[in-house]
Structure 1
């Protein structure tokens, strides 16, 4: 009988082995792509030419603005809060850091009711760089 033959058993074992291997590979790929922390736990915007950056650190709801070049121009940043019910936008944090290659920090409590957007610019050209809206 074919069902008892060694060829059939080998074919079944081979097929089961391939399915198990594919399942294991899929599980590994999913676990490696998933972040252990919230996607919004750390946000940052870098200015071109290494002029500075603006970052949000979820641990303590800290915003840090850094001017990384002592070029005398300085950098500025803002945080906008948007109400999802009426789309009203309000500046809740504004920061400046002078052209001396240093950092400034502020704390602001981010909550999950509002959406937020960060923006930063170098005083030398005034071009604003912003991130996508986010919430906690």
Structure 2
């Protein structure tokens, strides 16, 4: 999963033809800062293309990307990032 700042485009790609897909999620803190919420979910697998969508990253609010390979139950988190 990767993020392109120009246009705030998020993309998740299943690059391994192993029969399992991948899910990517974009997460941030909820409005009162007490919990993490998922603001976008992308799934890819079973085709030769990646899946993408836009989400407007706003100011100093912190976000992180999470990826899960459907072959196990582990989620992997990116570094935390923001627009500022």
TM-score bucket of the superposed structures, by smaller chain: 0.7 to 0.9
If asked which structure has higher relative contact order (CA below 8 Å, sep 6+), I would say: 2
Paired residues, number: 83
Say whether 1:58 aligns with 2:5: yes
Shift in Å, 1:69? 1.8
Matches within 5 A, 1:84-99: 86-99=33-46
Secondary structure, in 3 states, of the residue corresponding to 2:76? strand
Say whether 1:122 aligns with 2:69: yes
Partners in 1 of 2:33 and 2:74 — Cα distance?
28
More strand by share: 2
Task: Name the CA shift for 1:110/1:119 in 2 (closer, same or farther; >3 Å).
Answer: same
Structure 2: state its 5+ residue gaps. Answer: none
Preserved CA contact (<8 Å) 1:76 1:122 = yes
More helix by share: 1
Shift in Å, 1:127? 1.7
- TM-score computed with the length of structure 1 as normaliser: 0.55
Secondary structure, in 3 states, of the residue corresponding to 2:25? strand
Q: Name which one, 1 or 2, has greater alpha-carbon Rg.
A: 1
* Poorly superposed stretches of 4+, deviation over 4 Å: none
